[in-house]
Structure 1
Amino acid sequence: MLPPHFQPNSPRPFLKWAGGKKQLIAQYFPYFPQKFETYYEPFLGGGAVFFYLFRSRSIFQAVLTDINSELINTYCCIRDNVEQLILLLKEHQARHNKDYYYEVRSWNEGTPLQKAARLIYLNKTCFNGLYRENSQGKFNVPVGKYKNPQICHPDLLHSVSAALQLARIEVKPFDAVLDYAKSPQDFVYFDPPYYPLSSTSNFTAYSRYSFNEADQIRLRDIFAKLAERGVRVMLSNSDCPFIRALYSEFKIHEILATRAINSDANKRGKISELLVTSY
């Protein structure tokens, strides 16, 4: 069951993103605060929670940040220059094939708009919609096997652009939220790279910046500092003893998610995840 206020043409994630929360909103929405003035999302990714809140709540301020500069550039281009971006995506759509994919993947330079169009094009045509960078910060996912991928979706991009008009969008590390969120009128949602459940599931490097156990502990400390200020804080992560112990002083809720990315098809399916709230 979808949460209330959902309509097919409403703004929603425009990127396929590993760990995206689009399919979990129906389980999340009972835990969202009823009222808040400013929303902060320090691990923006696909932005599913922001888009849901935009659809379902009265006007609020939003500060959307991520350490991935290519991702943040794309959001800014959609907000500020969506028409030109659509034209570039239509060019990619017309020229798409396997050879063209690898040609575009090899590009290193370009204007902000060209880089945004490149990211969306690669995201829509790469294997499994998986964003991954190597240690040099270069996108390195192979082409996917799609017969007719929808690279340009003008109606969706227009609705996303409208939703982002009031948002502050910046490249920032997650700890920068401490400089902004300071009152009970603030709501912070953390969606970090999940703590690995096993040595073979250690998929934390969506970008060149890894996210290790020390980062998980630092994130918990920031969660606690925000909670002490009265900020309403929510966090998603894997269901494992390490995360349960880290957040044992807060409210922990179990969420049933579908694991979509796994090289072994037999290991894809339902899995328990955690949603932690300070309220």
Structure 2
Amino acid sequence: MVSQIPKQTCPRPFLKWAGGKSRLISQYLPHLPKNYQSYYEPFLGGGALFFYLQPNKSVLTDINSELITTYCCVRDRVEDLIALLQEHKSKHNRDYYYSVRGKTVNNDLEQAARFIYLNKTCYNGLYRVNSQGKFNVPLGKYKNPNICPEDLLRSASLALSSSDIKQADFTAVLNFATSSEDFVFFDPPYYPISSTSYFTSYSQYSFGEKDHERLRNTCAELAIRGVKVVVCNSDCEFIKELYQEIGFKIHFIEAARSINSNTKKRGMIKELLITSY
């Protein structure tokens, strides 16, 4: 078994992502498995941990089809994607943003460019859709948004080159992870701890208590197989009880709350890092 040691020159996420884990990785490291062969991330999002670890073998999935299309285009057609983003960059203004937001595109490459453009220019990099599945985040207040980070996209493309990327519900990981040589990292939409929590609006399908219970059951099955499982979530009794029932360990992480309409409610909060070992 090969020890997975993070490379010194690691790429960073190319998307801004609400709840992204880049700033928390240093706190995660003491609790992550030291040795594994295959890495699985069923709620891909911004992929911060994947880009930090750069595992040799990975399966990256998410239920968000536009996100997965974007990752595939970054992996397979990064130069074509950069050309389209440069075009978006040259036209960017308020009217153009809302014009692009209101359009539907069917071509994968154009869809990926649209996704990244909106991500870089919308409010706080938030991904939120309405009940019809349409992106509805307003324009952010940026003087010079980094719409086309060419070097970042190229380094991400290289890191993703050997990854299997597909759209799937998180339970699909049960089809892949089967042994102690597998490591699964779950970063689900967090269980809301207040009425202003955003994370249940990730897609047109809400992620409620029954889904968190399905996730717990999936984790329990993986643990029975010997798979190394790590889950992050909000610090609340409901989540703690779910995982304590199956013997998982609870660790507390200090995280910065960066998304709240009331700036006085931003600051440090506790989150949970939950492990099967």
TM-score normalised to structure 1 length: 0.95
2:259 corresponds in structure 1 to 261
1:77 corresponds in structure 2 to 73
Pairwise CA distance, 1:207: 1.1
Report whether the alignment pairs 1:24 with 2:20: no
Q: For 1:12-51, what aligned pairs fall within 5 Å after superposition? A: 12-51=12-51
Q: Which one-letter code corresponds to 1:243 in the other structure?
A: I
Q: Which one-letter code corresponds to 2:234 in the other structure?
A: S
2:7, 2:53 within 8 Å by CA — same for their partners in 1? no
Q: Secondary structure at the match of 2:17?
A: coil
Task: Show structure 1 runs of 5+ residues with no match.
Answer: none
Pairwise CA distance, 1:203: 3.4
Count, aligned residues: 271
Q: Which one-letter code corresponds to 2:67 in the other structure?
A: L
Task: Show structure 2 runs of 5+ residues with no match.
Answer: none
Q: Which one-letter code corresponds to 1:31 in the other structure?
A: H
Q: For the residues of structure 2 that align with 1:202 and 1:88, how far apart are their CA atoms? A: 30
Q: Which one-letter code corresponds to 2:257 in the other structure?
A: R
Q: Secondary structure at the match of 1:39?
A: strand
Q: Which one-letter code corresponds to 1:224 in the other structure?
A: A
Q: For the residues of structure 2 that align with 1:144 and 1:33, how far apart are their CA atoms? A: 38
Cα-to-partner distance string for 1:98-137 (whole Å, 9 max, x where unaligned):
0000111111123100000000000000111111111111
2:249 corresponds in structure 1 to 251
Tell me which of 84, 90, 108 is aligned to 1:112.
108
1:66 corresponds in structure 2 to 62
CA RMSD of aligned residues (A): 1.3
Q: For 1:1-279, what aligned pairs fall within 5 Å after superposition? A: 7=9, 10-54=10-54, 60-201=56-197, 203-248=199-244, 249-279=247-277
Q: For the residues of structure 2 that align with 1:131 and 1:235, how far apart are their CA atoms? A: 21
Q: For the residues of structure 1 that align with 2:145 and 2:221, how far apart are their CA atoms? A: 44
Q: Secondary structure at the match of 1:245?
A: helix
Q: Secondary structure at the match of 1:199?
A: coil
Pairwise CA distance, 1:209: 1.4
Q: Secondary structure at the match of 2:148?
A: coil
2:128, 2:135 within 8 Å by CA — same for their partners in 1? yes
Pairwise CA distance, 1:278: 0.5
Q: Which one-letter code corresponds to 1:264 in the other structure?
A: N
1:197, 1:240 within 8 Å by CA — same for their partners in 2? yes
Pairwise CA distance, 1:5: 5.0
Between stretches 222-231 and 203-212, larger displacement belongs to 203-212
Q: Which one-letter code corresponds to 1:185 in the other structure?
A: E
Identity of aligned residues (%): 63
1:195, 1:237 within 8 Å by CA — same for their partners in 2? yes
Cα-to-partner distance string for 1:133-166 (whole Å, 9 max, x where unaligned):
1111111111111111110011110000000011
1:82, 1:158 within 8 Å by CA — same for their partners in 2? yes
Q: Secondary structure at the match of 2:226?
A: coil
Pairwise CA distance, 1:6: 5.0
Q: For the residues of structure 2 that align with 1:142 and 1:201, how far apart are their CA atoms? A: 17
1:27, 1:255 within 8 Å by CA — same for their partners in 2? yes
Runs of 4+ in 1 over 2 A off after TM superposition: 3-7, 198-203
Pairwise CA distance, 1:4: 7.2
